[in-house]
Amino acid sequence: MGHIGGDFSATDILTALYFGGILKVYRDRPADPGRDRFILSKGHCAGALYTTLAYAGFIPLDELDTFMQPLSRLNGHPDRKKVPGVETNTGPLGHGLPVGVGAAIGAKIDGANWRVVVLTGDGELQEGSNWEAAMTAGHRGLDNLTVVVDRNRLQQGDSTANTVDPDPLADKWRAFGWAVHEVDGHDFNALLDAFEGLPLQTGKPTAIIAHTHKGKGVSFMEDKAAWHHKVPSREQMLAAMNELEAGA
């Protein structure tokens, strides 16, 4: 179910944000006005977000079994009206960053010190709305805004390089007025160092390009575009669980 490949490339990033003491979010007060805002722009990776939110105590762990089942609040893409901890409904790509820019402007107007973190895919950056938002964020110097690009180099149908290549990606963000940091998106300590150092530069929004592998942790899924939204057989699922548990 869902989009396993991108779930697995993003999981270490989500883990660092939620369990590394980075995001100030509160399971007992999910709508606290002073919370940090995390926005999953790659909404198809709701499975990874729900798992993170469950382990962070926002939803019951056993509810994960209802993922995408009839009438489950755990839709294939997140619904903020149903799931505490979800900030905005995503699914169509290129929506998270503009919303993140708006939230960051709101915090600036109030002189509030909460932060906004938006996680995007890399194929998703082909959506022009991201660059409209990037231009606004750079222009306004929103240093309370961070975008994390899950740079797994694959999109639904092919590699990003064979489709419409986002590279040189760091140069693009810099040209839009952002401070850029590249990191191994599966190196927990490197991710924590990057997040703890936010903002990278006062007066500029930060782009963290996290180099990742789609299907990370499962040998037969890693770096395979087919696993963007392929559903594993029972045998494949068991083999994947064995590999993940061995690697944990």
Partner 1 sequence: MSTLYDCRDAFSDTLVALGESEPRIVVVNNDSVGSSKTGAFRERFPDRLINVGIAEQNMVGVGAGLANAGKIPFVCSASCFLTGRALEQIKADVAYSDANVKLVGISSGMAYGALGPTHHSIEDFAWTRAIANLTVVAPADPEETAQAVRLAAATHGPVFLRLSRMGVPAIYDPTYSFAFGKASRLRDGGDITLIANGVMVTRALEAAELLAVRGIDARVLNMATVRPLDREAVIAAARETGAIVTAEEHTVYGGLGSAVAEVVVQTVPVPMRILGVPGVFAPTGEPEWLLEHFGLTPEGIRDAALELRG
Least Å distance, CB 66 to partner 1, is 20
Our finding on whether 98 is near partner 1 (CB under 8 A) is yes
As measured in angstroms, the least distance from the Cβ of 10 to partner 1 is: 20
Give the integer Cα–Cα distance in Å for 64 and 248. Answer: 20
Residue 57: which residues within 8 A CB-CB, separation 6 or more?
27
Preceding peptide of 199 cis, ω within 30°: yes
Q: With CA atoms as reference, report the closest residue to 145 among 38, 240, 52.
A: 38
User: Taking CB under 8 A as the rule, does residue 94 contact partner 1?
Assistant: yes
Pairing of strands 179-184, 145-151: unpaired
Separation between Cα atoms, residue 215 and residue 193, nearest integer Å: 24
Which residue number, 105 or 192, has a Cβ lying nearer to partner 1?
105
Q: Which residue type occupies 118?
A: V
Site for partner 1 in 107-166 (CB under 8 A): 107, 109-110, 116, 128-129, 132-133, 135-136, 139
Q: Residue 77's closest CA among 52, 51, 97, 49?
A: 49
**Residue whose CB is less far from partner 1, 81 or 234:** 81
Query: Scanning the structure block, which residue is given the tokens 């995503």?
Result: 90
Q: Which of residues 103 and 169 has its CB atom nearest to partner 1 in the complex?
A: 103
Asked whether position 30 contacts partner 1 by CB under 8 A, the answer is no
| Residue 31 beta carbon to partner 1: minimum distance, rounded to whole angstroms | 10
Gap between the Cα atoms of 227 and 41, Å rounded: 19
Contact between 49 and partner 1 per CB under 8 A: no
Is 207 an interacting residue with respect to partner 1 (CB under 8 A)? no
Q: Interface residues for partner 1 in 51-80 (CB under 8 A)? A: 79-80
Output the smallest distance, CB 196 to partner 1, in A: 24
CA distance 37 to 47: 19
Angstrom distance (rounded) from CA 66 to CA 22: 29
92: contact with partner 1 by CB under 8 A:
yes
What angle in degrees, to the nearest 10, is found between the helix axes of 188-196 and 4-19? 50
Output the smallest distance, CB 6 to partner 1, in A. 19
**Minimum distance of partner 1 from residue 102's CB (angstroms):** 2
State the nearest-atom distance from the C-beta of 103 to partner 1, in Å: 4
Among 100, 121, 123, 177, interactor with partner 1 by CB under 8 A: 100
Report d(CA 157, CA 142) in Å as an integer. 34
Contacting positions for partner 1 (CB under 8 A): 33, 37, 79-81, 87-92, 94-95, 97-107, 109-110, 116, 128-129, 132-133, 135-136, 139
